[in-house]
Amino acid sequence: MNKRFSGDSERGAGIVEFALILPLLMMLVFGVVQFGLLFNRQQALHASAREGARLAALPSATLAEISQRSLDALDGIPMDGTPTVTITPSVTHPCEARLGDTVLVVVTVPTTIETPVWGTESKILTGRGEFRCE
């Protein structure tokens, strides 16, 4: 009869241990998923900025074309906010008559990180692309 009671108490101990570990496990799983999404967005922003800077290196490229090319490179990437494109130097044709100088394209977007137990946090992600004017 003692063996029967011993098995019941061990089963209850397993449930208690699982209940104690579950929040940590959930936070770990959701943290990994959120980190993956954040990393994907960060890499997409860098690729977008590089794509814009590649176009900006041409003397005939305009600010509107550069900005549109950068935004087009983000198609299919889920973003929490609206991306902002900043081009330096900020003139109509950034590389016109500037052979050998550099042009910088920066793409930023606000994003949120949501993790159970930890909560929600807002961040600004930034991607940079810099090319030498041709």
Rounded CA gap, 93 and 60, in Å?
Answer: 6
Could you give the angle at which helices 2-56 and 63-72 cross, rounded to 10 degrees?
Answer: 160
Q: Tens-digit pLDDT profile for the chain (134 aa)?
A: 455 555 556 677 888 888 889 888 888 888 888 888 889 999 999 999 999 999 999 988 999 999 999 999 999 888 888 999 999 988 888 888 778 889 999 999 999 887 766 778 888 999 999 999 88
**What residue segments make up the domains of the chain, in order of their start?**
2-132
